[in-house]
Amino acid sequence: MVDDLGKIQENIAKIEKQVSDTVKSEVKVITEKFSIQKFVAGFNLANPVVLSKWLTSMIRTTIILTVIVGIIFGVGYYKGCHGKPIKIELKDGKEAYIKLDGHWLHIAGTGNVYIEDENGKVIKQITAKDVKGLAEELKPFGFELRPFAALGVGASLDNVGAEGGIGVQWAHFYKIQFDSLITTGGFYPLGLSYNLRDIKMPNSSIGIAIGEGWSIIEKGQRDDRVLIYGKVKF
């Protein structure tokens, strides 16, 4: 009985050694050293494959940066124009006061227009935005360039994913707004959104847009996409 146990232990030891040797012979640690040749090859623009990758990356980056910079400058110009005080110059530098409900509309000799209280304290200087903004809000249909930030979910036949970007609202019809967007997923020339002012969110909207993914530039393949998004105007 003792001899049998000894043989069993020997067999177990042999099996363990065989398994250990097999594992050691089968498992290989693959290491790849840094190669300066491969690194330099990535900058070889004479190679058509490398050149095409560089060009597509540069085109995409240029488009995104151009749109972003253009919108930033556009917002600055838009805000600057609408923040300018209006001037109503009366003959010979005269002043005028128009009685409002508890206040006075004061046209100063300089042409600047102010809203003042009963004691002559200036409450607000009237700007172009105060006049034009009211007129635009009252019109059921109109064209404008109003930038916004957008966040949503885009989908194509190949993938679905979250996207973020910026866009421009270029027209409205009552609460329906017409948009164009550029996002991390692609370019959407036409979007329709619905204003949420009925729930006290006048600068926010939800919408849906159609467009093309970046694969059309990177691979030359059509990538029809649909985007469901929320937007907030600047």
Q: What is the pLDDT of residue 29?
A: 47
Q: Which of 54-68, 94-108, 131-145 has the highest mean pLDDT?
A: 94-108
1 lies in a domain?
no
Choosing from 102, 126, 150, the residue where a domain stops is 126
| Residue 179 domain boundaries | 48-83+135-233
Reduced to 3 states (helix: H, G, I; strand: E, B; else coil), residue 225 is strand
Q: Are residues 58 and 148 in the same domain?
A: yes
**What are residue 52's phi and psi, to 5 degrees?**
-65, -40
38 lies in a domain?
no
Q: What's the sign of the alpha-carbon dihedral 154, 155, 156, 161?
A: positive
Q: Are residues 200 and 114 in the same domain?
A: no
Q: Are residues 70 and 109 in the same domain?
A: no
229 lies in a domain?
yes
Q: Which residue has the higher pLDDT, 188 or 63?
A: 188
Q: Are residues 217 and 191 in the same domain?
A: yes
**Mean pLDDT, rounded, for 25-43:** 55
216 lies in a domain?
yes
- Over pLDDT 90: what percentage of the chain? 25
139 lies in a domain?
yes
Segment (H or E) for 18: helix 2-26
**Mean pLDDT, rounded, for 28-46:** 57
Would you report the helix, strand and coil content of the chain in percent, each value rounded to 5? 35, 40, 25
**Mean pLDDT, rounded, for 24-36:** 53
Q: Are residues 116 and 148 in the same domain?
A: no
Q: Are residues 63 and 146 in the same domain?
A: yes
25 lies in a domain?
no
Q: What is the pLDDT of residue 197?
A: 84
Structure tokens at 123: 């409450």
Q: What is the pLDDT of residue 180?
A: 95
61 lies in a domain?
yes
| CA gap 121, 143 in Å, rounded | 37
Res. 60: pLDDT tops 70 = no
Q: Are residues 184 and 98 in the same domain?
A: no
Q: Which residue has the higher pLDDT, 21 or 199?
A: 199
Q: What's the sign of the alpha-carbon dihedral 158, 160, 161, 166?
A: positive
**Mean pLDDT, rounded, for 71-99:** 67
Count of domains observed in the chain = 2
Q: What is the pLDDT of residue 142?
A: 81
pLDDT category, 59, cuts 50, 70, 90? Answer: low
110 lies in a domain?
yes
Contacts of 117 (CB under 8 A, 6+ apart): 102, 103, 104, 123
pLDDT in tens, 88-130: 667 777 787 777 767 787 878 777 888 888 788 887 777 756 6
Q: Are residues 154 and 216 in the same domain?
A: yes
pLDDT category, 167, cuts 50, 70, 90? Answer: very high
pLDDT category, 195, cuts 50, 70, 90? Answer: very high
